[in-house]
Amino acid sequence: MPQRSIVLVMDSIAEMVEVTRLAEAAGFDLAWDWEFFNKNALVRLAALASATTRIGLGTGIAYAFGRSPMLTASGAADLDELSGGRLVLGLGTGTKRMNEEWYGMPFEHPAPKVAELCRLLRHVWASAGGPMRFQGEFYNLSIPQYVRPGQARPTIPIYLAGVNPIMVRTAAEVADGLVGHPIYPRSYLRDYVRPAIDDGLRRAGRARESFTLASCVIVSVGHDREQARREARQQIAFYSTVRTYDLLLDSAGFSQEKDAIRLAFKTVDAARMADAVSDEMLAATAVAGTPDECREQLAVYDNLLDLPMLYAPTFGVDPGRVLENHRLIVETFADR
């Protein structure tokens, strides 16, 4: 069966633990947590690591510039030790507003800065003892005597989040994988993401097999078909309000839907926002419907993604239904 993973987009840590255990028992390859201004990805992943034994665990994503490089490196090493070498460190730059207004951190040259951060993290993990120094364009560190006893692995896989082709290319140049955004239409994966990855790998002289193309896919599974499809529409509409995603939507032919969604957003009319998501837009950006329908729809991604990250809608969705959808995702895509 193709690889699959699940993104845990609920608020409750106890529910995250429950779903991760279910996913592990169902044969899922990886579970991802997420970070926001009120959620710490590293702390939450520690809870998942302590509650499981086999499933891979990823930050999907942690903010690359929200912590100092050494705190990121040591936190990742601690999680990798705690999980027995199961960590995937997913990092994202976030936006200028997120960095400056949420975290009080400067935001500059995100692509080259995060590329340097990847090199710095690997340098720290590979340091066996003695002086640890790093001099770069953005980071300069010097620790006279650096040791890290008990480190599970000499390096940890790093995946970078990317939306625009430059960041996707950067991920392919310096990281082990990509964390793609839930609003990717399939045509954007084909026409922009995969060529950018090929370009980045070529620039770095790397083989395609060295890189994992992972991406969030909005998945809404329900016994009530129309409810599931409606929830997926709501999530698509929510993301479509962000101007950063214009290229994704316009290139796929959804400019008319995007404009209607943003017009409804001005009056915070969530129902009209969802109504503006056409059947074609829904089919291009989400998997939604009954369990059998969702299995059939996800199969379309087999030739586009190495690792689908199954992502439940939350915008306008009752928390109880969010949890139910996570359980149904695990049940629907369990080993058979």
pLDDT tens, position by position, 172-201? 999 999 999 999 999 999 999 999 999 999
Percentage of the chain surpassing pLDDT 90?
98
Pairing of strands 140-143, 132-135: antiparallel
User: DSSP assignment, residue 226?
Assistant: H
Question: What local confidence, expressed as pLDDT, does residue 129 receive?
Answer: 84
Question: What local confidence, expressed as pLDDT, does residue 139 receive?
Answer: 98
> Within 13 A of 284's CA, how many CA atoms are on the CB side?
21
Question: What local confidence, expressed as pLDDT, does residue 313 receive?
Answer: 98
Question: What local confidence, expressed as pLDDT, does residue 234 receive?
Answer: 98
pLDDT tens, position by position, 59-76? 999 999 999 999 999 999
pLDDT tens, position by position, 309-324? 999 999 999 999 999 9
Find the DSSP H helices in the chain.
13-25, 41-51, 69-83, 96-97, 110-126, 165-174, 186-188, 194-204, 225-240, 246-251, 255-265, 270-275, 279-285, 291-298, 319-332
Question: What local confidence, expressed as pLDDT, does residue 1 receive?
Answer: 63
Q: Does domain 5-223+286-332 have CATH number 3.20.20.30?
A: yes
**Signed CA dihedral, 66, 69, 73, 78: sign only:** negative
d(CA 37, CA 39) in angstroms, rounded, equals: 6
Calculate the average pLDDT of the chain.
Answer: 97
Residue 32 near residue 8, CB atoms below 8 Å: yes
Question: What local confidence, expressed as pLDDT, does residue 336 receive?
Answer: 77
Domain ranges of the chain: 5-223+286-332
d(CA 85, CA 211) in angstroms, rounded, equals: 19
Question: What local confidence, expressed as pLDDT, does residue 97 receive?
Answer: 92
Instruction: Give every residue of the chain whose pLDDT is below 50, as ranges.
Output: none
pTM of the model: 0.97
**Signed CA dihedral, 334, 20, 163, 125: sign only:** negative
